[in-house]
Structure 1
């Protein structure tokens, strides 16, 4: 679902649902539960040792829990902030700290794949919320990351909103 109706003082709101992640999370959950059932099943001579079942169940259920963070990605732009959220992972960026706003056409593999990625480019650290779509590249004035890149369905519209706010933000030079 692309942009939705903004709430309150929001200038832009977008929620991107990721059905592939939902499918993968369900798959991991089913496998984890299958290994859990082995623990409580009957004792057959050809079943794996209980320790292996406990370890595999814990691994698959942990991966399913981690994947639950990437079922939906939300972008919210307010007059002063850009908020990015994917499950429990949240980033708030002050518009006054943005030096430049560019459209990003690079594929997700440049950042290491889909999801939340942190990597290093020649000019500094990059934090990417990459979900296989075109996106926005925010070049930062200061902070731990030189670039913050995120996917969006409407990169041109979002860039116009951010650049419009940059010229109206107090302290922007």
Structure 2
């Protein structure tokens, strides 16, 4: 059972996603046309080319479409952050502390999913937009020592995290 769940959608990414979807459908349509009806134009590209183009555009569309939604879920066992096909599932025992992140999005080299080295430790950041408020969670063990993610309600997220960190450390 989720104690806290939040979903953040980034409409700016949709501006990129839908044209990719149109390219995917167009490539698929040309591939199917050439496969079942006949060549397109006087000097058509090979059918395999359109199959590869359709597969690439569909794959990129699927990957980028997933990046339009960041999901944060806090439950009794762990903290889960999902950004498209990428997911971090952190048990409460690994969490040392959490605080509101004061750094600029540029510290992480921009927005999106970022793995950067800051002050000698690896930081994994899920940032859908530059102006989003963020929470930074310090972790023990593992390669990644800090998890940063955006949230609309940093106070509520921090309250739930602090409650579970106290329980896990007692």
TM class, shorter-chain normalised? 0.7 to 0.9
For 1:110, the equivalent position in structure 2 comes to: 107
For 1:166, the equivalent position in structure 2 comes to: 165
For 1:27, the equivalent position in structure 2 comes to: 19
Does the 8 A contact of 1:14 with 1:76 survive in 2? yes
CA distance in 2, matches of 1:45, 1:73: 46
For 2:141, the equivalent position in structure 1 comes to: 142
For 1:99, the equivalent position in structure 2 comes to: 96
State which drifts further: 74-83 or 18-27.
Answer: 18-27
TM-score by length of 2: 0.80
CA distance in 2, matches of 1:107, 1:63: 28
Alignment partner of 1:70 is 2:62: no
In structure 2, relative to structure 1, the CA distance for the partners of 1:43 and 1:74 (3 Å cut) is: closer
CA distance in 2, matches of 1:51, 1:110: 43
Gaps in structure 2 of 5+ consecutive residues = none
The one of 82, 87, 93 aligned to 2:84: 87
RMSD (Å) for aligned C-alpha atoms: 2.4
TM-superposed deviation, 1:30: 0.3
TM-superposed deviation, 1:106: 3.0
State which drifts further: 23-32 or 148-157.
Answer: 23-32
For 1:4, the equivalent position in structure 2 comes to: none
CA distance in 2, matches of 1:160, 1:22: 32
CA distance in 2, matches of 1:99, 1:43: 61
Alignment partner of 1:18 is 2:10: yes
TM-superposed deviation, 1:116: 2.1
Does the 8 A contact of 1:108 with 1:131 survive in 2? no
TM-score by length of 1: 0.79
TM-superposed deviation, 1:54: 4.2
